[in-house]
Structure 1
Amino acid sequence: MPAPSDILRFMRGQLFETPTLPKTSFAGKTLVITGGNTGLGFECAKQVAHLQASVIVLGCRDLVKGSRAKDNILSSCTSKQPTIHVWQIDMSSYASVKAFASRMPNELERLDVLLANAGISTNQFVLFEGLESTLTVNVVSTFLISMLALPQLEQTAARIGQQTHLTIVGSNIHAFAAHEQLQAPPDGKVLEYLSRAEEADMAGRYFLSKLIVMQCTRALAEKIPSIQEGQRPQVIVNCPTPGWCKTELFRVDDGGFISRNMLKLIGRTGESGARVLTSAFAAGDETHGQYYSDGRVKPPSVFARSDEGRRVQHKVWGELLSTIVRIAPSATDGL
């Protein structure tokens, strides 16, 4: 069960705080958004297009839907239109993720922002790449694309003399995760343990995946080189939560009668939630390695910031890093 303070923070943010868009211009900047054809990714792409972004790459599993999203975004622009590319990426396939990542340095002159947004919520147990599907998509592939993009983010920052952003979408629902499921397995066996059908609590798997994302984003941020020793990071790595939003994420698993109706009552629109992500692209050093909610830094869950949470973070991060190196040995070159 989440701590009472976690529940109170979630409800206060959901009910009484309204995200706002940054006033920053993205003129001249190139942004890559995975899951860009629908939901939060699509709304975010529309927002940065209106904020004068020069190049936007929509990473989509379905190129037809991606092309429709591109046309929709361009038709909504009343002033200068960005250049929009639609590239295929299937987060359930490591080969697809690597192929997508290889295009960035070859086809983009610069990379200012990567939004690692694509994710799934499902109550069905399925294996992708030998792991339970939520872990493959929300965790391993998310950090695989993030690490593969880091060298170009770092090179762009060094060349233009400005920080770039790696934004990995989190969720306030990480506070509701059954963290005992990360504590119980031995080191190096967490993903394997969670990918056994008899051990998989699919009702809470999305929550757990977002706790892992929160912890590993924090761990990754600690590895980012500084512009000068001990000073500002070259790449700002942050973990924004859009809040509980009415998007297609819950088309497979809507949480049942209570959650379905609660979402109708207090859920944000996708456009409103996407403002938090867009704000994270413009946010400064204070968000590096931090949980970013409702447009400002907030503490993560009570467990995530506890000594035991830190121990589990070290355990899970080490396993994730080893997994990614097996998939793509060069993926840690940016660290």
Structure 2
Amino acid sequence: MAPKTHEQYVADQHRIMPSVVTVNLTGKTVAVIGANIGLGFEASKHFARMNPERLILACRNEEKGKEAVSRLQKDTGYLKAELWIIDLANFGSVTAFADKCERELDRLDILVENAGMAAFRQVRRRSRAGRLVCTPTTSDHGLLAIRLVPKMINTARRFGVYPRIVVVASDVHYWTTFEKELVESPNILAKLSSKEYCTPEIMKRRYFDSKLLNVLFARAFQQRLPPSAITVNSVNPGFCISNLRSKLPEE
């Protein structure tokens, strides 16, 4: 993978954006993870305007989720949005969400895995910070996608459609490299979360590491799926207004 310089990254933000694509989502089901603010909320509004049969706003906080549903209704006029609770820092919550999808959804056409946070300097709680950042942006996204694959493959076969999983990544993945020690570790995620590994220097690039894992997961996952069943991709949203840094400590 060719590196991208900081200058190239900044220059990309000034490129002319293509027109937003709209399609008819009538009859389809869409789930957006981390849907109450920022990119997730804007994506949810875009989907709402395309009239899906079901639009699931998956949020960690019920109160904020309800506010998001209300704002979405006001902004788009779409009245069928559903609030489902999921905490990507909790494997049990992810499993419960997947179980609910299996029980209550007839189909699942689009899954947007968006939730994440930055932790460039959270080194005073090194091991906990390591687990938190590597969980919401990597391992739990992976667990959720894997758990929902049977539902999405079934959707493809029953309805003759091409479901997709979208992992929100970032071009900052170009700015990090995994050391040989990490790559050759018998359990990479355990190593990433270990107190010994999460030094202040490592934590400075932790968000970049998590985005690289997002990209690698999307590529590897796509390769392991049945041909023409589900499309898995990762996207770079560029600079945008979000709450990505909301959990950083005050200086």
Q: 2:240 maps to what in 1?
A: 245
Q: Give the Cα–Cα distance (whole angstroms) in 1 for the partners of residues 156 and 79 of structure 2.
A: 21
Which of the numbers 94, 112, 117 marks the counterpart of 1:115?
112
Match of 2:20 in 1: 21
Distance 1:66 1:43 in 2: 14
Note if 1:100 corresponds to 2:100.
no
* Deviation at residue 119 of structure 1 after TM alignment: 1.2
Q: Provide the C-alpha distance between the structure 2 equivalents of 1:209 and 1:45, rounded to a whole number of angstroms.
A: 24
Change (3 A) 1:127 1:148: farther
The reply to whether residue 187 of structure 1 matches residue 185 of structure 2 is: yes
Gaps of 5+ in 2: none
Q: Do residues 74 (structure 1) and 69 (structure 2) align?
A: no
Counterpart residue type for residue 218 of structure 1 = R
**1:138 alignment partner AA:** T
Q: Please give the alpha-carbon distance, in whole angstroms, between the structure 1 residues aligned to 2:215 and 2:239.
A: 16
State the Cα RMSD in Å. Answer: 2.1
Residue 221 of structure 2 is matched in structure 1 by 220
For residues 158 and 82 of structure 1, the distance between their equivalents in structure 2, rounded to whole angstroms, comes to: 29
SS of the residue aligned with 1:245? coil
Q: CA deviation at 1:6?
A: 4.3
What is the Cα deviation at residue 8 of structure 1?
4.9
Distance in 2 separating the partners of 1:143 and 1:207: 17
Q: String of CA shifts for 1:187-221, please: whole Å, max 9, x gaps.
A: 32322332233422111100001111111110000
Residue 54 (structure 2) aligns with: 55
Contact 1:53–1:82 (Cα < 8 Å) also in 2: no
Q: State the shift of 1:35 in Å.
A: 0.4
Partner amino acid for 1:238?
N
The offset of 1:77, in angstroms, is: 2.1
Q: What does the per-residue CA deviation read over 1:102-129, in whole Å, with 9 as the maximum and x for residues that have no partner?
A: 011211111001111111212324556x
State the identity %.
28
Distance, in Å, in 1 between the alignment partners of 2:188 and 2:68 is 37
The count of residues paired between Structure 1 and Structure 2 equals 242
* Structure 1 residues 225 and 82, CA gap change in structure 2 (3 angstroms): farther
Give the alignment's TM-score, normalised by structure 2.
0.89
Structure 1 unaligned residues grouped into runs of 5+: 227-232, 257-335
Task: State the alpha-carbon separation in 2 of the partners of residues 196 and 158 from structure 1.
Answer: 42
| 1:84 and 2:84 aligned | no
Separation of aligned partners in 1, 2:5 and 2:115: 25
Identify if the C-alpha distance between structure 1 residues 126 and 180 changes in structure 2 by more than 3 Å, giving closer, same or farther. closer
Q: Give the secondary-structure state (helix, strand or coil) at the position aligned to 1:225.
A: coil
TM-score by length of 1: 0.68
Quick check: 1:196 aligned with 2:197?
no
Are the counterparts in 2 of residues 166 and 235 from structure 1 also a CA contact under 8 Å?
A: yes
Q: Is the 8 A contact 2:166 2:235 kept in 1?
A: yes
Counterparts in 2 of 1:1-335, with a 5 A limit?
3=3, 5-78=4-77, 81-122=78-119, 123-124=121-122, 125=125, 127=127, 132-177=131-176, 179-181=177-179, 183-185=180-182, 186-200=184-198, 201-226=202-227, 233-253=228-248
